[in-house]
Structure 1
């Protein structure tokens, strides 16, 4: 007697092999048998006739670090078939912290990760134990965030690290890896990571490489200097021995489109050299991040509080405006994409909720000031708790990257306000728009990019594939109807065509509805 049997479906095992017509029998949360189970019985049976049966999707770039503990909010991930998420992204996350750095991170991350009240942890181990005791709809994995360990060693200082400070950071990475993290992350446009040089990155990555971990990185520039930024992290991997994974790969701005193919060629060349390189990508031509990312790096020295104080100074404001117009030494969203393509996604206060969904030109018109001042004023009013959507690209380039064998699907979803539609729609969008409608990928290819490929990156030994003995993280969907319904104008729309989702063998989504199941686990690095 099985706990659950899935019958009559087309099995896509996560390897890109052609589908097979086999049943799956589940016992105690794991796949016990794959074969003809026509004469077997189970407590729960799912008839998957006409449906695809695939490994649960693994999202390699999310910002669910806090709200994964709120299943009534976080349920949108399992409703898309996502059963595992990689937390600790962009080098800016919730652990490790000290009593001194915790309030700084709580303030800086409120717009990005939300607010669940007090953080009853300091170390990565304590944070993961907190998640162990929380109600998780899906599984979570963690990266050691570069910014957190940097602030433990040197605060938000806007300078290069000394050799001794680098060594301390490396030791903190190793400690985090021993506590269960699977790699280290950085976001080289975000403070304090932006102040690190290549030597510092190499040193922290040696700490992850020692434990066969990955380096998941938002590169220093994704527009006019994207090729140089990619060269930097490839050399970090070359010199440290770490596995390199480039976050939400793109080249922003129409003027930079010629760099896209060249960047992919650099990754291929690195692979040919023997460096393990992959990248993830969301299936949209707009990005989303914290609104204060529009500011030049020097504005962030000392942390969020000092940045906000600087915004009150008219002389400093004028200098920032000049940077917006001509400075190519940082990821200048204003220069690359224009105020009209920068949209306010979420704010922290009720009084400014009406501004969510407006671009900065509209914001300026409402406030009766020029766009830069409207942006500065909003950051001050919201205590920096603002996120944005930035329209940067071309779908032809998205498809070109999607077809590349090193590509992995991710969402980079951010909760709150009027979010980027990728939060609600990423995985059904790939399956519906790009597999069924545009035929950019086969179904087998798409499923591998959502399951087997990320499992390989994260060294997950018993997930990501439909195999006997593996945990039963499974999604059952209709290839003919699966579709995202989330749009920029109306982003909080649940997808269609995802019929069933199992997390660790527990039925979590049935007939497209979340059942309230909290069977998710914290997945620690296997020693």
Structure 2
């Protein structure tokens, strides 16, 4: 079992299975409406699947009543031109302050979606940093404590300098954990805390020592993927507080570094354009990845075709796609780093991609995960076979869709889905993962 990339696309499921993933979960942004998202995958999924409640999706709906998702996730609605038009999605959630009455409505809707089975609450406040109030984030953590689930955080700030330190974004939610309970998973923390990463790791370690259920997720790249209009890419933050420049941002459609002129053009004409950006140093990345309490995730967006449409179809060729290589290579890259860089013991790396995330979810209201991430009598037969001496990620910035190699077999719920490094067509053993939380 491996966790955290996107799950809706049949092509993405193929790439995930080739990478050893049997249980991808959509946690940071999540799904809304939750029931619609699950219904789309029931009986049609090659992997297990699950999603958190999308606070951002609900916020979008409350601030723009015209918004109606057909996909159940605002990620697809933003990146797919056809769905963007059909759903009437807007930038309102990223830019508008909610009124007291709207905050009450958002909170009530998040609670209803938890009752529908969402795996906690997705809190990508880093994309709504100037719009989402601390009153809202406090309410989301309160609900997490009430239901015994976790929040999944992309922190408010990506910065290593005051007044917007990446540490502050973590402390915002951590204070709610201390008051209300519930868990907190900080997604790809190294890309938010940058050179403050060692202190951020210690902060979470100290919080656990105080009995808090908190953890950080790391992906094995020092560059991420996002949209041109992401809050943290504005020059006053990206250049001053992240110590980067326009040329450290790469436009996915052209694979060219941005200039000031091109960045401003995208903001004006195509704010949802897919870009990749450099953040943490390699040193901070490796430190975070090897830290004893962190887990591995991919934070992967769906890959795109050259025509700007999402690559959904199972038969889509692996070559010629656009996006971040983490979509196809995260887990194999970690295993290769273990072999080549002596980053950590092999069994530690396997635990970071299986038992540790499963146990975190188990401890945060997802009882099904007590049967995953481990091989023992009574556990679910979600099994990956790989060769530790040769397993390799092949995805690159230029060819992000190339599948990993030397992961020849994959079993989901006792059914072989990958055989001799080929994903079997028409085999759908994937089961839904939902919360089983009891309100306190």
TM-score band, normalised by the shorter chain?
0.7 to 0.9
Matches within 5 A, 1:194-343: 194-224=130-160, 225-251=165-191, 257=195, 259-293=196-230, 324=235, 327-328=236-237, 336-343=243-250
- 3-state SS of paired residue (2:127): coil
Query: 2-side partners of 1:335 and 1:500: how far apart?
Result: 41
Q: 2:257 is matched with which residue: 316, 334, 359?
A: 359
Match of 2:110 in 1: 173
Match of 1:525 in 2: 435
Task: Say if 1:173 and 1:208, in contact at 8 Å, map to a contact too.
Answer: no
Query: Is residue 140 from structure 1 mapped to residue 28 from structure 2 by the alignment?
Result: no
Match of 2:6 in 1: 63
Matches within 5 A, 1:12-161: 56-57=1-2, 59-60=3-4, 62-64=5-7, 66-67=8-9, 71-90=10-29, 94-96=31-33, 124-133=34-43, 135-155=44-64, 156=92, 158-161=95-98
Match of 1:474 in 2: 383
Query: Is residue 429 from structure 1 mapped to residue 339 from structure 2 by the alignment?
Result: no
Query: Is residue 408 from structure 1 mapped to residue 348 from structure 2 by the alignment?
Result: no
Query: 1-side partners of 2:373 and 2:346: how far apart?
Result: 16
The structural deviation recorded for 1:162 is: 4.6
Query: 1-side partners of 2:339 and 2:154: how far apart?
Result: 30
Task: Say if 1:77 and 1:83, in contact at 8 Å, map to a contact too.
Answer: yes
- After superposing the two structures, state which structure 1 stretch, 162-171 or 459-468, moved more: 162-171
The structural deviation recorded for 1:189 is: 2.2
- 3-state SS of paired residue (1:195): coil
RMSD, aligned CA: 2.4
Alpha-carbon displacement from aligned partner over 1:225-277 (angstroms, at most 9, x marks no partner): 11222221211221221201000111569xx52x1211111111211222111
Q: Normalized against structure 2, the TM-score is what?
A: 0.80
- 3-state SS of paired residue (1:143): strand
Query: 1-side partners of 2:423 and 2:241: how far apart?
Result: 40
- 3-state SS of paired residue (1:522): coil
More strand by proportion, 1 or 2?
Answer: 1
- 3-state SS of paired residue (2:284): helix
Query: Is residue 387 from structure 1 mapped to residue 290 from structure 2 by the alignment?
Result: no
Q: 1:489 is matched with which residue: 398, 401, 406?
A: 398
The structural deviation recorded for 1:146 is: 1.1
Match of 1:442 in 2: 345
* Unaligned runs of at least 5 residues, structure 1: 1-55, 97-123, 297-322, 347-354, 361-370
Q: Kindly tell me: are residues 75 and 333 of structure 1, through their superposed partners in 2, closer, same or farther at Cα, counting changes over 3 Å?
A: farther
In terms of Rg, which structure is larger? 1
Q: Kindly tell me: are residues 295 and 233 of structure 1, through their superposed partners in 2, closer, same or farther at Cα, counting changes over 3 Å?
A: closer
Q: 1:377 is matched with which residue: 259, 265, 276?
A: 265
- 3-state SS of paired residue (2:428): coil
The structural deviation recorded for 1:130 is: 2.2
- 3-state SS of paired residue (1:484): coil
Alpha-carbon displacement from aligned partner over 1:191-243 (angstroms, at most 9, x marks no partner): 4x642222221112222222211110000112221122222121122122120
Query: 2-side partners of 1:468 and 1:84: how far apart?
Result: 19
- After superposing the two structures, state which structure 1 stretch, 178-187 or 514-523, moved more: 514-523
Q: Kindly tell me: are residues 169 and 453 of structure 1, through their superposed partners in 2, closer, same or farther at Cα, counting changes over 3 Å?
A: same
Task: Say if 1:174 and 1:208, in contact at 8 Å, map to a contact too.
Answer: no
Query: 1-side partners of 2:359 and 2:100: how far apart?
Result: 33
Task: Say if 2:146 and 2:180, in contact at 8 Å, map to a contact too.
Answer: no
